[in-house]
Structure 1
Amino acid sequence: MPMSLFPPTFENIQKAAQLLREGELVAFPTETVYGLGADAFQEKACQKIYTAKGRPSFNPLIVHCLENTQVEELAFLGQDAQKLAAQFWPGPLTLILKKRTPSLLPSIVTAGLETVAVRIPLHPTARALLKAFGRPIAAPSANRSGFLSPTLARHVLEDLHSKVAMILEGPPIEVGLESTILDLSEDVPILLRAGGLEIEKIQEFLGQKIFMNQTVSKIKSPGQLLKHYAPHLPLRFNAEDVDSEEGLLAFGSPLSGSKVTFNLSKTENLEEAAQNLFAFLHLLDERSDITGIAVQSIPEHGLGIAINDRLRRAAEGSKKI
């Protein structure tokens, strides 16, 4: 188990890059959540990700790149992809693209699919690590599969323990939700996962309606499993009342009667709510004096779409809706 968290100094970034070259796992912050990184070109290193997370092998990884030239070595950037990359990269947008053949990536990264999930992160620590490493990094969220995503370095430390060689603790995460995932491998763009980039912004930029994927027959990206992002405590979604033994995750004016309350945003600001979501769920889930978590309703627009997606899957995963 790592005994400490490492600030993103030049020396520590270089050390982390060397660990990646040696096939080890390194956790690092992105603007969305903490990622569990491995050399995207090393099959054994990427297998360690699946083992550490307990992640099913059919669930592909997101490949993080420093710049478009790295992406173009892995996948075909069509017209829509080029426009979206110019507008929203670096940032919390993952694109599903047709991968080049033969591929530089081992099949484990793409779960044997003919597509690859790629993004260019914005967080300075992630970018410094990518620059020092010089190659793409495969990195899902740095937590056990199906459980709460990490937005603090201590979340990674508590969840993965000795399964990671080094944890970089960078500046605070600004988005707090995983990236939006858009499938551009078919004739029309399809939203696979709502995330840190509002779908309305993508629709306005492209000038077209983006439809949500309605099937899960083939998992093309992370975040599509019904049970996901779950706390250990039972979670009630869209609660209209709260039990005295429950903790409350409030939004705006809080319900009365809870033992403890964390408010995602007293001013009903969805950006603030997204930033706080996983951190507050972790805090509630760690308490021994409550028997469950009640969550007030969140508006179904903007970042609220992504917040509600996480809460629905968390409620399903906790076996109590």
Structure 2
Amino acid sequence: MVSDGLWSIGELAERAGATVKTVRYYSDRGLLPEAGRSSGGHRRYGPGALDRLRLIRSLRALGLPVPEVERVLARDEALEEVVSGQLRDLGTRLAALRWREASLRLLQDCAAGERSERLRLIGAVSVPPDTAALVRFWRRILPVRLPGRVVSMVLDSVVPGVPEEPSPAQVLDFARLHALVSDPLVDRPESRPAPPLPDGEYRPTVLYEGLAEAYTLASAELRGGRDLRDGGALDCFVAAYAHARGEGDSPDFRRSLLPLLARSDGPLITRYWKFAAGLFAPGEPVLGALHHRLSVALHLDVGAQAD
């Protein structure tokens, strides 16, 4: 340091443990304040430049690109925004890496004859994947008259989240599920699942809200080890359909409901729940399984009444 208390660019670089090229680059971008110039026109820096340079290098070590560093230096409160953004970006990249690792293990561990088909399936899914195709699938088959709040309730229950740390089996299930809902044949009238009750003869909002209550009860009863025929879930399940049609629960109605349930639980929905079941978090109720268990309980109940 010379007598004026300022440093040359080389002295600043040496004190910071950086290269002259690095200091010059940040200085040229206006990130390092110059305290003045020497008689020969060379840049001179004070102690504040060293603190600033150390801050810049710390931010860069965290992976912040230079434009983001500039935002932080220009405005103190920008640091929280930038850090949050970097964490979101890092989370996305980590999710992509975990998905790729599970995908590679899926290909590594399968028989050679299966690799081509599995590669085609996983190659059709974005990395990291999202559930947009699943949401579109359900929006296409749900009744158009459902209020937005009910649609949101249904989607939250039937669309599984993307596993944060997927297993190879989950990668395969998700890829198969994505292929199922993305198939153009799904939009053909003959491929679409039948409505839960004859179209135009029921109130969709009453039905779906009633079914949500029935599934909640069924989940609790199963966790408690109870037979669904002995609790309130089955009655609530039947009541949802009956009230949606403006009818009451009766033995005749229960018998008439059986073929309607069989028709609505077609092969498309059955395959959907087959692939989706393993994607829900442990302990999270799977509506497809609950619906099936309630339908079976109704069959048994109707059969018992006929004996």
TM superposition score normalised by structure 2: 0.23
Structure with higher Rg: it is: 2
| Bigger proportion of residues as strand | 1
TM superposition score normalised by structure 1: 0.22
**Which structure is higher in RCO with an 8 Å CA cutoff and minimum separation 6?**
1
| Bigger proportion of residues as helix | 2
